[in-house]
Amino acid sequence: MKTTFATKEIVERIAAQYPTPFYLYDEKGIRENARKLKQAFAWNKGYREYFAVKATPNPFILKILQEEGCGVDCSSLTELMMSEACGFSGSDIMFSSNVTPAEDFKLAKKLGAYINLDDITHIDFLEQVAGLPETIFCRYNPGGHFEIETHVMDNPGEAKYGFTTQQLIDGFKILMQKGVKHFGLHAFLASNTVTNAYYPKLARVLFETAVMLKKETGADIRFVNLSGGVGIPYRPEQEPNDILAIGEGVRQAFEEIMVPAGLGDVAIFTELGRFMLGPYGNLITKAVHEKHIYKEYIGVDACAANLMRPAIYGAYHHITVLGKENAPCDHKYDVTGGLCENNDKFAVDRMLPKIDMGDYLAIHDAGAHGFSMGYNYNGKLRSAEILLCEDGSFKLIRRAETPADYFATFDFTGLFPQK
């Protein structure tokens, strides 16, 4: 059984001031999770989490994580700008992008961010547009399939990201010739894994590659970035990752591979988004229509424009009908939004308690890649974001869009004749 930090009483208090739909984030849960992650990697004196801004790009969230000692992982100009406005600079920022515009590299270099190159051609491009820093990261793509035991986790060979093995060797040599002094290695080989084995297996790949690169190039390797990929249990029957066990698995690999190679001082970085925020955000919506045809439908005031993962991925998000947590789940519903698309469904054939009009529904695990993937199809407006503070109060951290926001980028001058 999945439970949520949102309660009917809390949601009713908020909805009296800020109508549904809205995103609700749990400050207490976010802080506790960040501290547990830090504990898991406390064995590595240089360890740092760089939160993936793309997962939940909200300054209030970033400030909470900053207070917990996290840096930020940015992938665009606007994410860099937001991070700078929040007080991140220099080694607080990891800039990992692909098909990178010149302006993005220029700002990353100006801010003193760690720059993570996605391709060997970016060496010359970065040098031309912004100059090369003394420290640089390179993203590794080993190709083929990434497997844990006999289970294929993902297919790096089909991914657009990263250097091949030979390109890493050549790239490190070129960068050293151009004056780069210190290096980091990065890879992202599987997404949303719910297994304690992923990070330790990835760490072994990167640690062995780091040892090889040191031998082949003589480079001063200072950092290994395990990136993201540690997932969350969206389904109630899934066991969550044990981050303490994961940290211990990485430590064992580090002791076996890095320490004997003279790389025992290398700092470990992570770039987690979903793990950091996913369980600590709910999309709160209200039942506004019901329909009885070939199936039973409950229409809510949120839609795929608020949370698109179920529509585009068929992703499962658990739903709690607030105030009916202990009621029997004896009604089968499709829970739908109001878009003119048949895939605008938060749940299909989901067994839930009887839903009455006006009931509030909490859609779980929407704290990462939820609001940030929103859009304006059908003229739908992005919802508010609200923080449930540790003391039980709540705070508006992003207001809902209005029609004026939707029309703000149009220039109506001359479009309509003056009367």
Helix H or strand E encompassing 60: helix 59-67
* Per-residue model confidence (pLDDT) at position 144: 77
3-state class (DSSP) for residue 173: helix
The single residue of 70, 86, 329, 340 carrying the catalytic annotation is: 340
Give the integer Cα–Cα distance in Å for 271 and 368: 13
Tell the residue number behind the tokens 């090889």, with chain if given. Answer: 212
Contact 57, 77 (CB under 8 A): no
Strand ranges, E, within 85-164: 93-96, 114-117, 135-139, 146-148, 151-154
Kindly list the averaged pLDDT for each block of 10 residues, start to end, along the chain of length 419.
94 98 98 98 98 98 98 98 98 96 98 98 98 98 74 70 96 98 94 93 97 98 97 96 98 98 98 98 98 98 97 96 97 97 97 98 98 95 97 97 94 71
Q: How far from each other are the two terminal CA atoms of the chain, in whole angstroms?
A: 63
Two structure tokens written together for 238: 């899934």
**What contacts 410, CB < 8 A, 6 or more positions away?**
none
Domains and CATH numbers, the chain: 27-278 (3.20.20.10), 280-407 (2.40.37.10)
Nearest to 162 by CA among 209, 127, 230: 209
For the question of residue 340 being annotated catalytic, the response is yes
